């Protein structure tokens, strides 16, 4: 008798796998396809609802004598003025730049790909997620939160964030077990962990999940958001991008918690330390014999 073909792994079984690294390339593609299909059906449904609303709105516009182009412009202006930062500032910091790799959970937030293959985040959604992140973090007191940032380009901004908000930060190295081993002298009992990158800060992420605490995850296009209670999307590889994220989080948190703090302006957060050092050692009239300058 001919052998029965092995049944393919369902999407539910793929989602139940504990570690995304355990998924094969074929399984990741299958999962991505499943999510894309769900997203597509949602889009079709929303499109139908929007079209119905558009018909009603068109009738109202005709009565009031306002053109659709004027209305679009008004909506666009209102949207931009409601943003945490002007669009130009987001663009200058490169917060919208993703990576070549795009995980299935990050795909809905990608606007397009550049010619060089880099995925581009939708800046409107970046702003929305930052607002949601600020609101979420503000529910916790400073002593209930820790920030993990192993990426070196983010240390300076992370330390300033800690100084302003009173939130404990771990840079350079995360001490293993401090969230799970009560016998350690430096044991920390927190309620929320802010993770800068789920790949670099994976030990802190795993410890937080083991301790069944909340997670706010900063996600680039190559990150999985599994395990996160709330996400902020954006470039987490750049010092300037992390600077603007920590700046907005600090500013929003202090405002929501009525914390009086002297917060440096945006330029401080988005000027990387290397640039400051170069400017520090620049001298008027200095020449370089090697290049004949």
Q: What is the pLDDT of residue 214?
A: 97
What is the C-alpha to C-alpha distance for residues 52 and 21, in angstroms, rounded to an integer? 43
pLDDT in tens, 157-196: 999 999 999 999 999 888 888 898 888 888 888 999 999 9
Residue 54 sits in the same domain as residue 121? no
CA angle 251-257-258, nearest 5°?
A: 85
* Residue 150 lies inside a defined structural domain of this protein: yes
What is the C-alpha to C-alpha distance for residues 106 and 39, in angstroms, rounded to an integer? 12
Q: Please give the span between the terminal C-alpha atoms of the chain, in angstroms, as a whole number.
A: 84
Q: What is the pLDDT of residue 273?
A: 59
What is the C-alpha to C-alpha distance for residues 264 and 51, in angstroms, rounded to an integer? 46
Residue 125 sits in the same domain as residue 268? yes
Tell me the mean pLDDT in the region 266-278: 70
Least confident window among 60-69, 194-203, 262-271: 60-69
Check the CA dihedral 20-110-130-153 and report its sign: positive
* Residue 284 lies inside a defined structural domain of this protein: no
- How many domains does the structure of the chain reveal? 2
What is the C-alpha to C-alpha distance for residues 137 and 253, in angstroms, rounded to an integer? 7
Share of the chain above pLDDT 90, in %: 56
Residue 131 sits in the same domain as residue 35? no
Residue 102 sits in the same domain as residue 45? no
Neighbouring C-alpha atoms within 13 Å toward the C-beta of 42: 7
pLDDT in tens, 21-71: 555 666 666 656 665 555 556 666 766 777 777 777 666 545 444 455 554
Residue 54 sits in the same domain as residue 110? no
Residue 115 sits in the same domain as residue 258? yes
Tell me the average pLDDT of the chain.
80
Residue 56 sits in the same domain as residue 121? no
DSSP state at residue 176 = T
Q: pTM, whole model, 2 decimals?
A: 0.68
Backbone angles phi and psi of 171, in degrees to 5: -115, 175
* Residue 6 lies inside a defined structural domain of this protein: no
* Ramachandran area for residue 142 (φ above 0: left; ψ -120 to 50: alpha; else beta): alpha
* Residue 18 lies inside a defined structural domain of this protein: no
Cβ-based neighbours of 210, under 8 Å, separated by 6 or more = 179, 180
What is the C-alpha to C-alpha distance for residues 130 and 216, in angstroms, rounded to an integer? 11
Residue 58 sits in the same domain as residue 152? no
* Residue 285 lies inside a defined structural domain of this protein: no
CA angle 79-196-95, nearest 5°?
A: 35
Find the domain containing 116 and state its range.
88-272
* Residue 291 lies inside a defined structural domain of this protein: no
Residue 227 sits in the same domain as residue 112? yes
Query: String of b and e for 144-175 (b: at least 16 CB within 10 Å)?
Result: ebbbbbbbebbbbbbebbbebbebebbbeebe
What is the C-alpha to C-alpha distance for residues 216 and 245, in angstroms, rounded to an integer? 13
User: When comparing pLDDT for 204 and 62, which is higher?
Assistant: 204
Q: What is the pLDDT of residue 4?
A: 47
Residue 154 sits in the same domain as residue 206? yes
Give the tokens for residue 52.
């119905």
* Residue 16 lies inside a defined structural domain of this protein: no
* Residue 206 lies inside a defined structural domain of this protein: yes
Give the tokens for residue 152.
């070196």
Query: Which pairing describes strands 119-121 and 145-149: parallel, antiparallel, or unpaired?
Result: unpaired
By the 10 Å C-beta count (0-12 exposed, 13-18 middle, 19+ buried), 132 is classed as middle
Residue 121 sits in the same domain as residue 235? yes
Residue matched to tokens 């880099």: 118
Residue 121 sits in the same domain as residue 61? no
């Amino acid at each position: 008798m001919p052998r029965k073909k092995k049944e393919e792994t369902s999407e539910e079984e793929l989602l139940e796998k504990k570690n995304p690294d355990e998924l094969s390339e074929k399984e990741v593609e299958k999962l991505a396809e499943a999510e894309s299909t769900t997203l597509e059906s949602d889009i079709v449904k929303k499109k139908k609802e929007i079209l119905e609303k558009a018909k009603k709105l068109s009738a109202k516009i005709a009565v009031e004598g306002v053109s659709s182009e004027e209305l679009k412009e008004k909506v666009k202006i209102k949207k931009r003025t409601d943003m945490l930062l002007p669009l130009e500032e987001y663009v200058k910091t490169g917060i919208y730049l993703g990576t070549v790799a795009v995980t299935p959970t990050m795909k809905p937030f990608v606007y397009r790909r550049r010619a060089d293959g880099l995925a581009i985040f939708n800046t409107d959604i970046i702003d929305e997620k930052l607002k949601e992140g600020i609101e979420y973090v503000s529910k916790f007191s400073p002593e209930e939160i820790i920030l993990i940032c192993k990426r070196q380009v983010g240390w300076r901004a992370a330390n300033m964030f800690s100084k302003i908000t009173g939130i404990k930060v771990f840079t350079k190295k995360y001490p293993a077990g401090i969230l799970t081993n009560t016998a350690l002298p430096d044991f920390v009992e927190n309620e929320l962990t802010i993770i800068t990158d789920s790949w670099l800060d994976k030990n802190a992420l795993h410890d937080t999940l083991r301790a069944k605490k909340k997670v706010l995850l900063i996600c680039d296009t190559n990150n999985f958001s599994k395990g996160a209670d709330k996400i902020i999307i954006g470039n987490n590889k750049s010092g300037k991008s992390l600077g603007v994220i920590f700046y907005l989080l600090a500013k929003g948190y202090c405002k929501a918690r009525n914390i009086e703090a002297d917060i440096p302006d945006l330029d401080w957060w988005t000027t990387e330390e290397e640039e400051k050092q170069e400017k520090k050692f620049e001298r008027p009239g200095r020449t370089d014999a090697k290049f004949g300058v």
